[in-house]
Amino acid sequence: MTTVHENDNPYELLRDKHFYALLDGDSSFPTACSNEDRMPYLTGSKLCELSRNFGLPAQGSGNSRWVYIEDMFDYAIEQSRFSDFLGLFF
């Protein structure tokens, strides 16, 4: 069983394509009011725009959409701006 140590990054549990799929609108999630819901679908162009607005230059280079989210995720951790990162989507 993996344990989280004091010096480990607390965000590592979120470093997962399933989490990225929730953010980019690919996956649904259960809610109390309905059977399921999902975030708005974000195109590659929209993710590039979010990334640039967040301070991380991104150009539409044909990457999978989850790659743009992972790049922003890493950047947010490096810059100690994880709350700002989540604010891009909520």
Q: H or E segment at 29?
A: strand 28-29
> Which backbone phi and psi does 83 adopt, to 5 degrees?
-60, -40
The verdict on pTM exceeding 0.75 is yes
Note the Cα 25 to chain centre separation in Å: 10
Tokens, residue 71: 């790049």
63 band by pLDDT with thresholds 50, 70 and 90: confident
Supply the pLDDT for residue 7: 53
61 versus 67: the higher-pLDDT residue is 67
pLDDT more than 90, % of the chain: 64
- CA 43/CA 34 separation, integer angstroms: 25
Supply the pLDDT for residue 42: 96
CA-derived radius of gyration, the chain: 14
Tens digit of each residue's pLDDT (9 = 90 or more) over 9-41: 788 889 999 999 999 999 988 888 778 888 999
